[in-house]
Amino acid sequence: MLDIKFIRENPDLIKEAARKKHVDFDVNELLSLDARHREILNLVEKLRSEQNKLSEAIPTKAPAEKEKLVLELRQLKEHIKEKEEGLRHAAAHFDESMLRVPNIPDVAVPEGLSDADNQEIRKWGDLPTFPFTPKDHITLLESKDLVDFSRGSKISGFRGYFLKNAGALLCFALWQFTLESLVKKGFTPIIAPSKVRRDPLKGCGFIPQHEEEVYKLGEDEYLSGTAEVPVTSYFMDEVLNEKDLPKKFIAFSPCFRREAGSYGKDVKGLIRVHEFFKLEQVILCEGNHETSVRFHEELTKNSEEIVQALGLPYRVVVNCGGDLGLGQVKKYDIEVWMPSQEKYRETHSASYFHDFQTRRLNIRYRGHDNELRFVHSLNNTAVATPRLIACLVENYQEADGSIRVPEVLQKYVGLSVIK
RNA sequence: GGUGGGUUGCGCCGAAUGGUAAGGCACCAGUCUUGAAAACUGGGGCUCCGCAAGGGGCUUGCAGGUUCGAGUCCUGCACCCACCGCCA
Q: How far is the CA of A251 from the C1' of B59 (A)?
A: 34
Residues A56 and A136 in one domain: no
SS3 for A242-298, per residue? HHHCCEEEEEEEEEECCCCCCCCCCCCCCCCCCEEEEEEEEEEECCCHHHHHHHHHH
CA distance A241 to A326: 28
Residues A277 and A400 in one domain: yes
* Domain that residue A265 falls in: 115-418
Residues A20 and A151 in one domain: no
List the CATH number of the domain containing A160: 3.30.930.10
CB A167 within 8 A of CB A146: yes
List the CATH number of the domain containing A80: 1.10.287.40
Instruction: Give the bases of strand B that a protein CB approaches within 7 Å.
Output: 10-11, 19-20, 27-29, 43, 45-49, 56-58, 68-69, 78
Instruction: Judge whether A310 lies within some domain.
Output: yes
Catalytic residue among A257, A345, A359, A364: A257
Q: What is the pLDDT along chain A (419 residues), one digit of tens a residue?
A: 899 999 999 999 999 999 999 999 999 999 999 999 999 999 999 999 888 888 887 777 777 777 777 888 888 888 888 888 889 889 999 999 999 999 999 999 999 999 999 999 999 999 999 999 999 999 999 999 999 999 999 999 999 999 999 999 999 999 999 999 999 999 999 999 999 999 999 999 998 889 999 999 888 889 999 999 999 999 999 988 888 889 999 999 999 999 887 767 787 899 999 999 999 999 999 999 999 999 999 999 999 999 999 999 999 999 999 999 999 999 999 999 999 999 999 999 999 999 999 999 999 998 877 788 999 999 999 999 999 999 999 999 999 999 999 999 999 999 999 99
CB A366 within 8 A of CB A384: no
Residues A51-79, buried b or exposed e (16+ Cβ, 10 A)? eeeeeeeeeeeeeeeeeeeeeebeebeee
Partnered with residue A332 across adjacent β-strands are A318, A350
Instruction: Judge whether A108 lies within some domain.
Output: no
- Give the CA count within 13 Å in the CB-facing half-sphere of A304: 18
Residues A410 and A361 in one domain: yes
CB A138 within 8 A of CB A163: no
Residues A131 and A276 in one domain: yes
Nearest nucleotide (C1') to alpha carbon of A50: B56
Torsion sign over Cα A378, A360, A273, A112: negative
- Mark whether A387 is an active-site residue: yes
Residues A285 and A400 in one domain: yes
Residues A21 and A157 in one domain: no
CA distance A330 to A354: 10
**ipTM surpasses cut 0.85:** yes
Instruction: Judge whether A109 lies within some domain.
Output: no
Q: A38, A71, A98 — which closes off a domain?
A: A98
The amino acid that residue A309 corresponds to is: A
- Looking at the structure of chain A, the number of domains it has is 2
- Mark whether A114 is an active-site residue: no
- Mark whether A88 is an active-site residue: no
- Mark whether A257 is an active-site residue: yes
Instruction: Judge whether A222 lies within some domain.
Output: yes
